A = this chain, B = another copy of it.
């Protein structure tokens, strides 16, 4: 018996290189979850095999800019000439259907979401150590040292924003991080600020 039919918006974020994409994938590989992955919108052209409405919502730049103007994006960013963002209507629809919606986004995007929907649940995925983060960034490819150092600097400044989040989840192993996030999602459904109004109206006052 869950007290509120509306879903919870779960924002999974963290520094680049921390492995948040792997953690998110592991969450959705589980059976019997009631989660919905928020599909991003982009102006980038589809790659071979990518499907509209599955991998991304692919739109023209004009439509994307219109959506920005009309406040129809929960968060957005430009990256090497392409726009990426989260359609607000899709998220709201799924929440109204009672689905917990999972966003996996960069730190700057998460802070945008916090401005628009402060009652979302903000989870910061953190590395078990700075050395481990450097290892993960280095083993991603054969980048030049300069690029790696720049990424580390960016990651460090992002880690400085961890206090903006409700939870800090260490990604020591993917399974541990996944289990912690599943516990957090379950717990959030009992948080009194989410359920109190509903409880008073539908349980206490009905006799």
Contact = CB atoms under 8 A, between A and B. Distances in A.
Interface stretch (A22-30, A39-47, A168-176): A168-176
A159 B204 contact: yes
A162 B192 contact: yes
Which of A167, A176, A191, A196 has its CB near the most chain B CB atoms (within 10 A)? Answer: A167
A203 interface: yes
B128 A196 contact: no
Contacts of A165: 192
A180 to B, nearest CB: 5
B159 A196 contact: no
A138 to B, nearest CB: 15
Interface residues of A, number: 41
B207 A131 contact: yes
B126 A203 contact: yes
A187 interface: yes
Nearest to A198: B168
Contacts of A207: 130-131
Interface string A156-168: 1001001101111
Interface of A: 1, 3, 123-124, 126-131, 156, 159, 162-163, 165-170, 172, 176, 179-180, 182-184, 186-192, 195-196, 199, 203-204, 206-207
